[in-house]
Structure 1
Amino acid sequence: MLPSRDTLVTYPDGALDADTVVLHVAPTADGRIAVVTEATSFHPVDAAWPDQPADTGTLTAGDLEVPIDDAVVAATDGTELFLGADIPVRKGTEGWSFLVAHLVAGDAAITEGDAVAVRADASARRALSTGHTACHAAALALNAALAGNWSKTAREDALGAPDFDGIAIASSRIVPGGSVDVYRLNKSLRRAGFDTASVAADELDELAASVTATIADWAAAGAAVRIDREGDGLTDRRYWVAELPAGTARIACGGTHVASLAELGDVRVEFEAGDDGGTPVLTMRTHAAPAR
């Protein structure tokens, strides 16, 4: 049965386990099975902005326990299930349900109506949550460090600084304990009033030191982090909220996070100048080292 409403998700609240029921099972093009459940604790990868990878873990039905190979955002109009990049509409489109599809081996004996337990691996989740929280903190600290390099009024970030991260971002990838963010220093950014020469290669160590120091101050202050959500469904808006010394930051985000910047431990940021088809790019790598 194809679901008529969005999957209920519990991972934004930090849940690792969910006892639920299978609503739909469908074969995939690569020979696996997509298992859609009523609820899940499993964070999926979203093809529209695939920054945070899916959780790792298992699906258990009775005595059968199978690894979850991957989890992706899926969607249906009631007639067909579309996975990942094959979804033909935007999230929230009227008449569509948006779902979490757990991908398991094609010979897994999982059927519609089965009572199942979804379990996400705690250590893998924590590593990605640490990386995602560090990513947001680094973006805000970077915006603050570059605030004086704008000659025109630019849209502001969650703390009121010009939003270099939001304007220049080309890609963001969350990795265990950190992130990799790539910014395009193109003509559009210069026309918007940003001095791209201010991030010259020979000044990047100074920039890294500034961003790292800001995050360290926020972590030392024990800045609390939480997820605010407008509902329990997959597409209900969710926000990363951090009570920073500089003010409360509120950023739309569908990922998972730790509960405090203090949990990041020692954070180090580094920058690298590069080129993408003739366009200068700036890569920021963020590394967190939580205490064990």
Structure 2
Amino acid sequence: MFPVTATRVLFADHQTQAPATLQACVAATSGGTWLVTDQTPFHPVSHIWPDHPADRGTCDIAGVPYPVIGCYTGAVELASGQLFVDQAIPVKRSEPGWVFVVVHRIAETVTAQPGESALLQVDATYQQALSRGHSAGHLSSLALNQVLHHDFWRKDASRKDELGHYDFHGYAQTQSRVTEDCSTDTYRLGKTLRKRGLNSADLIQQLDVVAERVNMLLETWRQGGAAVTMRCEGPALTDSRYWQCELIPGSLITIPCGGTHVRSLADYARITVSFELKGEQELVMITRTAAADES
């Protein structure tokens, strides 16, 4: 049995191409082939919080480039060598006797052997568009918290965000979704949030004002051009990774996040938010961006 090790991920370092060694080549249950390599620049969709889509690109085996049509989190039981993919994963990340891997799916049936060489190439344009959307989502949530902090809470909330503001985003978020140059966050404005001290009725009535103030703050941050870095506690997929940005000089913001991200706020030509109210208890914030070279 070819030894399978935890996949070494390279996307946090903005690496979009890498040679690799095949560790597993398995017929996919829904057709095609699942490929596991020792390292990869591909970002897989998470089986736990699938807000950030998988990267696209190609996997070249023996000189033949195969389009990667899906990229997933997988887990291998070392004793049996059995591969479990995405929602079929039966264990937590820390389970002894298991390793977590990145699984690349191709449409073709391939019979390559473990130990063979491969070349992985990510669609950098697509990845960068997702990265802009994801980093902007962090920025807009921090900006929204700051705008709401002074005028829309009637009592002290125990949970604060990384800038010390009442964490509306952390309290109320029920769903997030990253797409190309966009991040969509859904919030529930229910009874629990009101009990914590949010004046949700005032928020609903003043959404236009809130959007304007959030956008002004985002533009101030964008013009500051602060660097964005990813701090990784290790090279494996399951090692913790953190989004970091010094929005305020001398104060480094650190947010746990496993996605891909921009290198700098100078990568943006603009970041803007808009709100959609769905009933009296659901608010959607849509953050849209444009690349600096598209202005």
TM-score interval, smaller chain: over 0.9
The 2-side partners of 1:206 and 1:3 are apart by 58
Matches within 5 A, 1:1-292: 1=1, 4-78=4-78, 79=80, 80-148=82-150, 149-150=152-153, 151-200=155-204, 202-245=205-248, 247-275=251-279, 280-292=281-293
Aligned partners of 2:188 and 2:283 also within 8 Å: yes
Identity of aligned residues (%): 38
The 1-side partners of 2:262 and 2:102 are apart by 22
Moved more, 142-151 or 221-230: 142-151
SS of 1:155's partner is coil
The 2-side partners of 1:288 and 1:40 are apart by 27
In the alignment, structure 1 segments of 5+ residues that lack a partner are none
SS of 1:285's partner is strand
Aligned partners of 2:133 and 2:180 also within 8 Å: yes
Aligned partners of 1:67 and 1:104 also within 8 Å: yes
The 2-side partners of 1:96 and 1:190 are apart by 43
Aligned partners of 2:175 and 2:185 also within 8 Å: yes
Moved more, 136-145 or 79-88: 79-88
Q: 1:147 to 1:2 in 2, by over 3 A?
A: farther
SS of 1:131's partner is helix
Deviation for aligned residue 1:106: 3.7
Runs ≥4 in structure 1, deviation > 4 angstroms?
1-4
The aligned amino acid for 1:194 is: L
Deviation string for 1:29-60 (max 9, x for gaps)?
21121100000000000021111101110000
The 1-side partners of 2:2 and 2:218 are apart by 45
Q: What is the TM-score normalised by the length of structure 2?
A: 0.93
Q: 1:33 to 1:189 in 2, by over 3 A?
A: same
The 1-side partners of 2:145 and 2:238 are apart by 28
Deviation for aligned residue 1:195: 2.1
Deviation for aligned residue 1:82: 1.1
Moved more, 141-150 or 265-274: 141-150
Aligned partners of 2:25 and 2:111 also within 8 Å: no
The aligned amino acid for 1:91 is: R
The 1-side partners of 2:75 and 2:148 are apart by 40
SS of 1:146's partner is helix
Deviation for aligned residue 1:203: 1.5
The 2-side partners of 1:28 and 1:280 are apart by 41
Deviation for aligned residue 1:2: 6.8
The aligned amino acid for 2:73 is: V
Deviation for aligned residue 1:289: 1.3
Q: 1:143 to 1:2 in 2, by over 3 A?
A: farther
Q: What is the TM-score normalised by the length of structure 1?
A: 0.94
Deviation string for 1:233-267 (max 9, x for gaps)?
10111000001027321000001111111212111
CA RMSD for the aligned pairs? 1.5
Deviation for aligned residue 1:4: 4.7
Deviation for aligned residue 1:94: 3.0
The aligned amino acid for 1:130 is: R
Aligned positions, number: 288
Deviation for aligned residue 1:155: 1.0
